[in-house]
């Protein structure tokens, strides 16, 4: 059964995630291991592009579970997140049955049955007829409105949803739940309290290099080292939006597409749009600042070698 495939230790968690090209910090691997072992939802907060969504995908692959994703947005409600009645189909069948009274009575008793129910992510995730409990990703919860959190709280505490017309649907085995937030606002304490919490930080230099080696294997070691060191300097600047790991990967792919072997100030300036998405940030870095940062990178690397 499904629970036998859980990792057996923190080391095992690290190894199995890494085998799927996800390079976790020791702290994240510990939290993941515990969340699986204790059957608690995992709440991940952090800057965009630091691997929060990706860990849910990787966990699903690692454990051989389907991934069910609920992308949160402003105005997300029960109908979008859990279920709604198929009103169009109900109307259509009523029309088709207009002739006979017996059929109509039959239909009336069936109008609010499974046949007319459209299950959205949350309902799908607790569907007791599924062969294995899935990984449920509730992505970017900070984008949803606060009332939605209250509803979510119920689902997360009992893994059940009550549909007034139909009854209570309860998971046979709880799904593995990953919630993420980019922290554009604080998520309510009550939600966090039900979860194991981890702040996903930008990776340190060696880990970002390891990520890059796995995600863009075509990049040479020298170029990869320069790229990672440059981006780490960039993240120390006072920018509106710092580049995440996703940007490191994209930039490396872009530089490879341009057949770059090493960085140079002009190349950096001309490709900054892959890394930075605000004109003010780009203007701050392009030109002499890029050259200065690159010099710092080179000095530090020479220092490390000698």
Ligand X SMILES: Nc1ncnc2c1ncn2[C@@H]1O[C@H](COP(=O)(O)OP(=O)(O)O)[C@@H](O)[C@H]1O
Phi and psi at residue 128, in whole multiples of 5°?
Answer: -70, -10
Site for Mg ion in 51-90 (CB under 5 A): 53
Indicate the residue among 140 and 226 with the shorter CB distance to Mg ion: 140
Residue from 13, 14, 16, 23 in contact with ligand X (CB under 6 A)? 23
Query: Min. distance of Cβ 35 from ligand X in angstroms?
Result: 16
54 is a site residue for ligand X (CB under 6 A):
yes
Evaluate whether 45 touches 53 at the Cβ level (below 8 Å): no
Indicate the residue among 83 and 225 with the shorter CB distance to ligand X: 225
Strands of the sheet with 42-46, listed across from one edge: 67-71, 135-139, 176-181, 42-46, 196-200
251 is a site residue for ligand X (CB under 6 A):
no
Q: At a CB cut-off of 8 Å and minimum separation 6, what does 238 contact?
A: none
Site for ligand X in 202-231 (CB under 6 A): 211, 215
Question: Cα dist. 139→3, 120, 258, 282 in Å?
Answer: 24, 14, 34, 29
What are the structure tokens assigned to 160, written together? Answer: 């059940």
Indicate the residue among 41 and 161 with the shorter CB distance to ligand X: 41
Site for Mg ion in 95-114 (CB under 5 A): none
252 is a site residue for ligand X (CB under 6 A):
no
What whole-number distance in Å separates Cα of residue 78 and Cα of residue 114?
17
225 is a site residue for Mg ion (CB under 5 A):
no
Evaluate whether 32 touches 24 at the Cβ level (below 8 Å): yes
Query: Min. distance of Cβ 214 from ligand X in angstroms?
Result: 6
Indicate the residue among 226 and 247 with the shorter CB distance to ligand X: 247
181 is a site residue for Mg ion (CB under 5 A):
no
DSSP state of 218: T
59 is a site residue for ligand X (CB under 6 A):
no
Residues lying near Mg ion in the complex (CB under 5 A) are found at 53
């Amino acid at each position: 059964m499904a629970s036998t495939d859980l990792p057996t230790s923190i080391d095992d968690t690290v190894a199995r995630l890494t085998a799927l090209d996800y390079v976790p910090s020791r702290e994240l691997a510990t939290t993941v291991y515990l969340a699986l072992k204790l059957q608690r939802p995992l709440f991940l907060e952090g800057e965009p592009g630091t691997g929060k969504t990706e860990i849910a995908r990787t966990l699903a692959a690692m454990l051989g579970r389907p991934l069910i994703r609920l992308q949160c947005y402003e105005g997300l409600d029960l109908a979008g997140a859990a279920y709604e009645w198929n009103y169009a189909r109900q109307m259509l069948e009523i029309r088709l049955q207009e002739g006979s009274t017996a059929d109509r009575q039959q239909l009336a008793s069936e109008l609010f049955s499974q046949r007319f129910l459209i299950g959205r992510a949350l309902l799908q995730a607790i569907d007791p007829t599924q062969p294995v409990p899935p990984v449920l990703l509730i992505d970017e919860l900070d984008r949803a409105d606060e009332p939605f959190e209250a509803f979510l709280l119920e689902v997360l505490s009992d893994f059940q949803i009550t549909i007034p017309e139909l009854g209570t649907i309860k998971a046979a085995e709880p799904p593995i739940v990953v919630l993420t937030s980019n922290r554009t606002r604080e998520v309510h304490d009550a939600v966090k309290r039900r979860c194991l919490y981890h702040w996903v930080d930008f990776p340190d230099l060696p880990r970002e290099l390891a990520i890059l080696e796995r995600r863009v294997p075509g990049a040479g070691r020298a170029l990869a080292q320069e790229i990672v060191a440059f981006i780490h300097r960039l993240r120390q600047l006072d920018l509106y939006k710092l580049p995440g790991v996703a940007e490191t990967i994209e930039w490396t792919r872009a530089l490879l597409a341009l057949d770059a072997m090493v960085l140079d100030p002009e190349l950096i300036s001309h490709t900054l749009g892959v890394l930075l998405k605000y004109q003010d940030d780009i203007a701050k870095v392009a030109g002499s600042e890029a050259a200065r940062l690159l010099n710092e990178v080179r000095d530090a690397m020479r220092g490390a070698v000698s």
